[in-house]
């Protein structure tokens, strides 16, 4: 009998040695597409053992015919061969005493065939009575930049405070790349696939206590043990914010899941109750999850929901106001004092909005000289808890009165935001021309470097901020006596 303690997750994220079972003897292929190539490229510092009966060396490493031939202990094994061969190799891993096996291969329960489902059950049976743990099959496994593990050549090597637990893999590759581009970095990203052994509840329980993970994003299609998942989620949300992308609430989505991870999706009604009970932040798309992470990581929590909108006014300001209020934020008129002061501002033309939204930004002869002062006025208004500043670089980049004024606008905003008494949320629109996009991306990166949350549309911004305010409020209410 194996003690539960030995089977606990923990050190598995920091393996001292890795065997790649099914490393290719074609070195070019292995370098570009194989796990040995990927781990070398990513800078894994531990011992690496390619396992392939038809090679003596792969990418400068001694290769072995079987994991049983590896002369030293193996902490972590990645099995990347076709489904029918996996069981025998897993049995060898168990015999070798490997702590964690990642079965990359798909073609088990996910194929939908009864035979493949039985094969998956055989994998589970092979683990019985051992301390060997299994992640997968049909998954990408682990990305842990601090320990040099990665399932993509392209990921950032910079560690960060965000953990991901995900039932899907392919979407994760893009998600993690986009997140890194937006200065969101990761502690542990786990794609667990068909979860024959390690499943989402255990991962959540582990991450709840993981000091490296300050917030968690979960992509889930279905769970096997609803009660255990709920408890694990609740354990997490007690300690840190959790964003949940639950897929399959529609009939078609459930069908798609049956041919992806073959999970039981559960009813939307039950899941919504789970989100409410645990104060998990529910999102519907990967894009929304990413925006939510940006809000979570970069927005200093405002004391209330009252927004002061600054920037492009007119109909655009009205539409943004509608968006804010639909997401549970409030756009009140500024106090008379603020309105009068804004009206007196040099450069604020007659007819420009001064009551919230405040129509400021780019004047007919460039950036308003009083822009910083306008920001201070809005931020000190007693009907405002935080600022939403909207910039659309078209006017700044192509302004006929003289060149790209976006850098100047960003200097003013970043320097002023530092001294404002209230948090700032930025919207910098992307547009559809490459010169504008370049300027926007640079400006967005400057915001993140300065600690300002930034989004590409007001819709993205207010959705993320609204949900974050709900999260903070529910947490406060729960903590109250």
Of 356-395, binders to a second copy (CB under 8 A) are 356-357, 359, 364-365, 392, 394-395
Site for a second copy in 405-424 (CB under 8 A): none
> For 6-45, b where at least 16 C-beta lie within 10 A, e where not — what string?
ebebeebbebebbbbbbbbeebeebbeebbbbbbbebebe
| CB 80 within 8 Å of CB 88 | no
6 binding a second copy? (CB under 8 A): no
Three-state DSSP state, 217? strand
C-beta separation of 107 from 261 below 8 A? no
Smallest distance from the beta carbon of 213 to a second copy, in angstroms? Answer: 20
User: What one-character DSSP code corresponds to residue 297?
Assistant: H
Residues 276-295 interacting with a second copy (rule: CB under 8 A)? 284-287
Query: Is 346 an interacting residue with respect to a second copy (CB under 8 A)?
Result: no
Residues 169-228 touching a second copy, rule: CB under 8 A, are 169-174, 177-178, 181-182, 219, 221
Q: CA-based diameter of the chain, in Å? A: 82
Residue 5 or 336 with smaller CB distance to a second copy:
336
| Binding status of residue 347 toward a second copy by CB under 8 A | no
Nearer Cβ to a second copy (49/455): 455
Query: Which of these segments, 86-94, 236-244, 273-281, 330-338, binds a second copy (CB under 8 A)?
Result: 330-338
CB-nearer residue toward a second copy: 33 or 408: 33
- Regarding 64 and contact with a second copy (CB under 8 A), the answer is no
Q: Does 158 bind a second copy (CB under 8 A)?
A: no
Q: Report how far residue 92's alpha carbon sits from residue 264's, in angstroms, rounded to the nearest whole number.
A: 32
253 touching a second copy, by CB under 8 A: yes
Measured from the CB atom, the residue of 15 and 393 that comes closer to a second copy is: 393
Query: Smallest gap, in angstroms, from Cβ of residue 438 to a second copy?
Result: 5
Q: Report, in Å, the least distance between residue 107 CB and a second copy.
A: 4
How many CB atoms neighbour CB 417 within 10 A? Answer: 21
Tell me how far apart the alpha carbons of residues 219 and 286 are, in angstroms, rounded to a whole number: 9
Q: Are 309 and 388 in contact (CB under 8 A)?
A: yes
Nearest approach in angstroms of CB 2 to a second copy is 30
Closer Cβ to a second copy, 178 or 270, answer by number? 178
Size of the site for a second copy (CB under 8 A): 93
Contacts of a second copy in 82-141 (CB under 8 A): 82-83, 105-107, 110-111, 138
**Binder to a second copy among 25, 94, 234, 430 (CB under 8 A)?**
430
> What minimum distance in Å lies between the beta carbon of 37 and a second copy?
9
Binding test (CB under 8 A) with a second copy, winner from 211, 351, 421, 481? 351
Q: How is residue 380 written in tokens?
A: 């000190």
402 near 364, Cβ under 8 Å?
Answer: no
Tell me which stretch binds a second copy (CB under 8 A): 15-23, 143-151, 247-255, 466-474: 247-255
Which candidate, 475, 57, 65, places its Cα nearest to that of 242? Answer: 475
Virtual CA dihedral for 43, 45, 50, 55, nearest 10 degrees?
Answer: 80
Is the CB of residue 253 less than 8 Å from the CB of residue 265?
yes
Q: Interface residues for a second copy in 19-48 (CB under 8 A)?
A: 32-33
Is 239 or 316 the residue whose CB approaches a second copy more closely?
A: 316
User: Is 160 among the residues that bind a second copy (CB under 8 A)?
Assistant: no
- The answer to whether residue 324 forms part of the interface with a second copy (CB under 8 A) is yes
Q: Among residues 302, 429, 453, 466, which is the contact residue for a second copy, using CB under 8 A?
A: 429
Q: How many residues does the chain have?
A: 481
Provide CB contacts within 8 A for 76, sequence distance 6+.
12, 15, 17, 18, 19, 98, 99, 100, 101, 102
Looking at 56-64, 198-206, 231-239, 345-353, which segment touches a second copy (CB under 8 A)?
345-353
Count of C-beta atoms within a 10 Å radius of residue 231: 15
Which CB atom, from 41 or from 475, has the smaller least distance to a second copy? 41
Per-residue HEC secondary structure of 341-382 comes to HHHHCCCCCCCCCECCCEECCEECCEECCCHHHHHHHHHCCC
């Amino acid at each position: 009998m194996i003690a539960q303690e030995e089977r606990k997750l923990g050190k598995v994220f920091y393996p001292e040695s890795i065997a790649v079972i099914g490393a290719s003897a074609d070195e070019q292929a292995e370098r570009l597409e194989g796990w040995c190539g990927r781990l070398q490229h990513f800078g894994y510092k531990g011992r690496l053992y390619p396992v392939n009966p038809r090679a003596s060396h792969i990418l400068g490493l001694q290769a072995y015919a079987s994991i049983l031939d590896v002369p030293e202990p193996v902490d972590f094994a990645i099995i990347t061969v076709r489904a029918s061969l996996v069981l025998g190799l897993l049995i060898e891993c168990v015999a070798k005493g490997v702590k964690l096996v990642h079965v990359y291969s798909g073609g088990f329960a996910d194929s939908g065939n009864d035979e493949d489902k039985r094969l998956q059950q055989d994998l589970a049976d092979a683990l019985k009575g051992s301390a060997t743990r299994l992640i997968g099959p049909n998954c990408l496994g682990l990305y842990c930049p601090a320990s040099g593990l990665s399932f993509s050549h392209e990921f950032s090597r910079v560690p960060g405070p965000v953990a991901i637990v995900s039932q899907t893999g392919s979407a994760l590759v893009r998600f993690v790349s986009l997140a890194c581009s937006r200065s969101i970095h990761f502690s542990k990203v786990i794609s667990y696939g068909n979860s024959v052994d390690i499943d989402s509840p255990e991962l959540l329980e582990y991450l709840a206590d993981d000091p490296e993970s300050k917030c968690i994003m979960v992509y889930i299609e279905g769970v096997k043990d609803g009660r255990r998942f709920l408890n694990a989620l609740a354990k997490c949300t007690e300690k840190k914010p959790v964003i949940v992308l639950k897929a399959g609430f529609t009939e078609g989505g459930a069908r798609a899941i049956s041919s992806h991870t073959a999970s039981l999706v559960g009813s939307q009604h039950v899941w919504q109750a789970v989100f409410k009970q645990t104060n998990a932040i529910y999102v519907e798309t990967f894009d929304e999850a990413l925006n939510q992470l940006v809000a979570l990581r970069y927005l200093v929590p405002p004391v209330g929901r009252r927004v002061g909108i600054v920037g492009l006014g007119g109909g655009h300001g009205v539409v943004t106001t509608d968006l804010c209020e639909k997401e549970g934020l409030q756009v009140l008129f500024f106090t008379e004092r603020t309105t009068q002061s804004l009206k007196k501002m040099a450069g604020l033309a007659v007819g420009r909005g001064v009551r919230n939204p405040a129509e400021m930004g780019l004047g007919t002869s460039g950036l308003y000289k009083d822009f910083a002062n306008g920001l201070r006025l809005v931020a000190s208004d007693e009907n405002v808890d935080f600022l939403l500043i909207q910039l659309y670089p078209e006017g700044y980049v192509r302004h006929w009165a003289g060149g790209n004024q976006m850098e100047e606008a960003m200097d003013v905003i970043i320097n002023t935001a530092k001294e404002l008494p209230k948090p700032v949320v930025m919207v910098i629109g992307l547009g559809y021309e490459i010169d504008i996009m370049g300027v926007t991306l640079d400006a967005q990166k400057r915001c993140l470097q300065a600690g300002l949350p930034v989004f590409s549309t007001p819709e993205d911004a207010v959705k993320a901020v609204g949900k974050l305010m709900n999260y903070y409020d529910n947490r406060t209410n729960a903590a109250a006596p």
